[in-house]
Amino acid sequence: MKNKVVASSNGSVGIAAAHEILHSGGTSLDAVVTALSLVEANPDDHSVGYSGLPNMLGEVELDASVMVGIGLRAGSVGALRGYQDAALLSKHVMDSLPHVLIVGEGASRFASECGLDFCDLLTEEARTVWQSKMSSADPDRELDGFLERMREIVASIATDPQLVEPPHGTVNFICQDREGRIASGVSTSGWAWKYPGRVGDSPIIGAGNYCDDRYGAATCTGRGEMAQRACTAHSIVMFMRFGESVETSVRTALRDLGALDDPFASEMNVIALDAAGKPYAGSTASGKTYIYLEEGMSEFAEMDREHVAVDFD
């Protein structure tokens, strides 16, 4: 079996490092965490880690998870403030605590205990994007009429020429070593202007991330509330468990989202890898890509995701 790495396209800054770790005999988990850490440190990516876009109050809150396909071990953090290494902290949760998910102040406390570096995650660039949708001069009133504000913000984003990229995003990595051992990881700053304390799908095992060596792995980006309600990552792996191909599993899970009643429904993207090492990716939006690198390739390939049209009305 060949080493392989599958990732969302914004994982391009980490994919070579992940591959190198696998090549030199490292674990698929170390490959995933190292790759995610590089994306979290990338100041040009406003959807993950340092320089992520903040919540409605201008505070950056990170979500992340890691999962290991042997023994179904997992760790995750939600609404983490003040530390960029959300994926590494997820690994520490998995390795050192009898828990899966730590959130908010507890997550920051644990990051400090683990010796991670405290930093201000909000950059000037991200602050400027955040402020462009803020209307209240009084910071204490920012959360008044939150739902209405969110509707206005979402509607204005669709026509905002300055926001060429959607103001949300996430990075996904799935790595498999020569023995077929799989690990998967997800990291994000979540939806910009979200309600403080909102946790998306990325740290929820089964929603944004799921990995089982016997069948395969899947991870998500997109509107997390949809993956949370449909258990999208777990569904994909379960479809493979019951004999569906990775292609059909991805397609079926995305089509299932059409059953959701969600006025904020928007795109969902998934990447998956079956136990035999076959990657596949899909999106409810057209023109999306993912990246892939396996032993023997000199550089990663950017591949088209299947566009799975879903009627959200």
Positions marked catalytic: 170
Q: Which CB atom, from 108 or from 188, has the smaller least distance to ligand ASP? A: 188
Q: Which CB atom, from 37 or from 219, has the smaller least distance to ligand ASP? A: 219
Shortest Å, Cβ 143 to ligand ASP: 19
Judged by the rule CB under 6 A, the positions of this chain that interact with ligand ASP are 63, 168-170, 188, 190-191, 200-202, 208, 221-224
CB–CB of 215/237 below 8 Å?
A: yes
Q: Which CB atom, from 21 or from 268, has the smaller least distance to ligand ASP? A: 268
Q: Which CB atom, from 169 or from 206, has the smaller least distance to ligand ASP? A: 169
Shortest Å, Cβ 67 to ligand ASP: 16
C-alpha distances out from residue 3 to 24, 180, 297, Å: 10, 8, 11
Tell me 37's DSSP state. Answer: H
CB–CB of 52/196 below 8 Å?
A: no
Shortest Å, Cβ 234 to ligand ASP: 15
Q: Which CB atom, from 76 or from 202, has the smaller least distance to ligand ASP? A: 202
Shortest Å, Cβ 198 to ligand ASP: 8
Shortest Å, Cβ 277 to ligand ASP: 25
